[in-house]
Structure 1
């Protein structure tokens, strides 16, 4: 009888097994970082004097229509020209001899980031450049949990692109990044482009 009571008491004080963890929800956002570099010869006037330029940052389902569109078609009627490839557009001012670091939320529908310079005298096809976006975050993957942007060898969760504007040309600026060191450039700015909620969450 004593043994039975002891066994009962032991059973009552046994720690229950931990509850199974719920599967993590899919990350709802992806933060894109972009560094924009303006050269000292940016957007020159007829006399060669550098001038600021407006830079448009498009999120697009494809960059194919940019290949065939004229500058004025995108400038004046971008949504009509790009059709259902158009997802969103944000615009900032880029100054000569400057560096700007911007951050924005990636739209799930977008597959490309297209940067377009509204130059005074655009020529050829050099007024825009395109970057391929990585796949959106998978289930439970979130950039805030992956400081270096890579998790378990998967896709880049927080991609970083560099845009170089020189004269009336815009291009991938990765090769120029070391010439504009962060924190040591006299004309440097940073901004969160609307919508900014996702970017703010990723910093916490």
Structure 2
């Protein structure tokens, strides 16, 4: 016959095992792919004329399969014939007018083939290649729907100042 101590030990062991297994089940997978968020931050000096007066600027944001076509395209080509120039690399585009000092955020549904984001400013006097910003698109976060703080953070932040675009914080 086993002693009373063995019975209590067995009961304690069973209780410990059941508490050890009582953990929260993993969250359900997100039903939609994480969207792409692009923040546009305009400085007060934006798209100035000859006298230094700032003006609103039309900005186009593109989701691309491959950025190589845009890397070699000129500002005038993209301004006038963006869909022809980007052709099969173009997955989506949004156009917005950004005012000096304003911040805008654009959200895109993420296409499976998207590998890059391009931000293009239609400036009065573009200089070099600073009229555009090309950046790789980070991989989608499969748990984005469970992380509200991350869900609001932009993937790309573009700063528009004078007649140029650069990456920002």
- Structure-2-length-normalised TM-score: 0.75
Equivalence for 2:32: 28
Q: 2:156 aligns with which of 127, 148, 161?
A: 161
For the Cα contact (< 8 Å) 2:30–2:144, is it kept in 1? no
Matched-pair contact (CA < 8 Å) for 1:128–1:170 = yes
Residue 147 of structure 1 corresponds to 148
Q: CA deviation at 1:100?
A: 1.8
Q: CA RMSD in A?
A: 2.3
Asked whether 1:49 is paired with 2:44, we answer no
Matches within 5 A, 1:40-189: 40-137=44-141, 141-149=142-150, 160-174=155-169
- Following TM superposition, by how much is the alpha carbon of 1:72 offset from its aligned partner in structure 2, in angstroms? 1.2
Is the 1:31–1:105 Cα contact (8 Å) retained in structure 2? yes
Higher strand share: 2
CA distance in 2, matches of 1:116, 1:41: 17
Inter-partner Cα distance in structure 2 for 1:125 and 1:28: 35
Q: Which has the larger radius of gyration?
A: 2
Instruction: Please tell me whether the aligned partners of residues 162 and 172 of structure 1 are also in contact (alpha carbons under 8 angstroms).
Output: yes
Deviates more, 1:63-72 or 1:29-38: 29-38
Per-residue CA deviation, residues 56-90 of structure 1 (Å, 9 max, x unaligned), is: 00000111112211111111111211121111110
Distance in 2, Cα, partners of 1:136 & 1:27 = 13
The structure-2 alpha-carbon separation of the partners of 1:50 and 1:83, relative to structure 1 and needing over 3 Å to count, comes to same
Judge conservation of contact 1:66–1:82 (CA < 8 Å) in 2.
Answer: yes
Report how far residue 146 of structure 1 moved: 2.6
Distance in 1 between residues matched to 2:113 and 2:33, nearest whole Å: 12
In the alignment, structure 2 segments of 5+ residues that lack a partner are 1-24
Is the 1:59–1:110 contact (alpha carbons within 8 Å) kept by the matching residues of 2? Answer: yes
Query: Structure 1: where are the runs of 5+ without partners?
Result: 1-20, 151-157, 175-204
- 1:95-146 deviation digits (Å, cap 9, x = unpaired): 1112223323222221111000011111210000012112245xxx342123
Which secondary structure state, in structure 2, belongs to the residue aligned with residue 41 of structure 1? strand
